[in-house]
């Protein structure tokens, strides 16, 4: 005798039979496939979060949409595909040797290098390097090396993204430090929000830093590597929280909520500073974007 299981129309229909396999939902849930016969639910994100992709799956991430209404926001982007003799690349300026913008004299003990790289799939990549001196350095900024230029945090949500790679990592022979973020200076942690890497600190994992005269440092569990990555810093409207992401994934020690600078102007910056060795070391920058929404409209 064949036993027939009674059909209950209240039971969820599985995916193989055209159903979802789910019996209930919460407002805002999104269905997505995690396999050929499997559906999962993604709960709705928080206010101001955007839907993006992380590890090939949909994910809600903190951010703001790039505004085109300049009454209520601002937007700045540079694809970094041109350079002139004054040391300016696009709307970024080169600071070599930590003394001035534009190339310093070639006899400077700390002169670094900057070149345009040809890389498939990227319209323009700038390479900034240490040169072969032990203390060589080079940095880029979207404004002059002055605390009187830039933006103030605290007047609305701000998001910075920079696509960067470190072709060769720091080691005991050729040691260097990389900083990238929203800062008032290139070569120190002072007055800014930044990612920071050197091989001998935090086991070569990225640190995140907030500094407004005093410093908050958090040691992440994300190791630096030689691939391209998108480094993003998202600051809330009141500048009471700064979140740090790599390729859309928030670092395990993010966000930071103390020592976020609000009294000093800051702008996108990236730098490499050598402290040992005579082999040139570099970082490559593909683009940066800076955008935000103003708490109070301009008019």
Q: What domains sit in the chain, N to C, each tagged with a CATH number? A: 1-44 (no CATH), 62-294 (2.60.120.200)
pLDDT digits (tens, 9 = 90+) for 162-191: 999 999 999 999 999 999 999 988 889 999
- The average confidence (pLDDT) of the chain is 80
Q: Please name the residue that has the structure tokens 């007047």.
A: 155
- Position with higher pLDDT, 147 vs 160: 160
d(CA 24, CA 193): 42
pLDDT at 90: 38
Say which DSSP state 187 is in. Answer: S
CA gap 25, 145 in Å, rounded: 53
Q: What percent of the chain has pLDDT over 70?
A: 75
pLDDT-based confidence at residue 44 (cuts at 50, 70, 90) = confident
For the segment 204-229, the average pLDDT, to the nearest whole number, is 97
Q: What is the pLDDT of residue 68?
A: 61
Asked whether the beta carbons of 221 and 228 are under 8 A apart, the reply is no
Specify the pTM.
Answer: 0.73
DSSP structure class, residue 121: T
Which has more confidence, 48 or 78? 78
Q: What does the alpha-carbon distance between residue 266 and residue 183 come to, in Å, rounded to a whole number?
A: 5
The residues pairing with 196 across neighbouring beta strands, listed in sequence order, are 179, 207
| pLDDT given for residue 35 in this prediction | 81
Furthest C-alpha separation in the chain: 97
Of 44, 97, 153, nearest in space to 114 by CA? 97
Give the CA dihedral 218, 221, 227, 232, nearest 10 degrees: -40
Taking a C-beta distance cutoff of 8 angstroms, is the pair 140, 92 a contact?
yes
Q: Which residues contact 216 (CB under 8 A, 6 or more apart)?
A: 209, 210, 256, 258, 259
**Which of the two residues, 20 and 251, has the higher pLDDT score?**
251
């Amino acid at each position: 005798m064949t036993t027939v299981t009674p059909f209950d129309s209240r039971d969820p229909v599985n995916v193989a039979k055209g159903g979802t396999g789910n019996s209930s939902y919460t407002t805002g849930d999104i269905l997505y496939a995690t396999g050929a016969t499997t559906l999962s639910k993604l709960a709705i994100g928080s206010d101001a979060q955007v839907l993006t992709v992380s590890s090939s799956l949909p994910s809600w991430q903190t951010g703001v949409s790039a505004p085109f209404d300049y009454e209520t926001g601002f937007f700045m982007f540079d694809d970094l595909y041109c350079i002139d003799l004054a040391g300016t690349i696009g709307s970024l300026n080169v600071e070599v040797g930590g003394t001035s913008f534009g190339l310093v004299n070639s006899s400077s003990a700390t002169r670094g290098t900057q070149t345009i790289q040809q890389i498939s799939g990227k319209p323009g990549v700038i390479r900034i390097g240490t040169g072969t001196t032990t203390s060589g350095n080079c940095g880029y900024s979207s404004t002059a090396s002055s605390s009187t230029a830039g933006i103030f945090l605290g007047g609305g949500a701000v998001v910075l993204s920079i696509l960067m790679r470190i072709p060769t990592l720091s080691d005991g022979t050729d040691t260097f430090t990389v900083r990238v973020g929203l800062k008032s200076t290139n070569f120190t942690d002072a007055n800014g929000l930044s990612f920071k890497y050197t091989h001998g600190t935090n086991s070569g994992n990225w640190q995140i830093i907030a500094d407004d005269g005093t410093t908050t440092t958090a040691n992440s569990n994300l190791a630096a590597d030689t691939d391209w990555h998108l480094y993003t810093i998202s600051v809330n409207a009141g500048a009471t929280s700064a979140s740090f992401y790599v390729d859309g994934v928030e670092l395990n020690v993010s966000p930071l909520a103390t020592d976020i600078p609000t009294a000093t102007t800051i702008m996108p910056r990236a730098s490499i500073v050598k402290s040992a060795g005579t082999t040139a070391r570099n970082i490559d920058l593909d683009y940066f974007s800076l955008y935000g929404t103003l708490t109070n409209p301009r008019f």
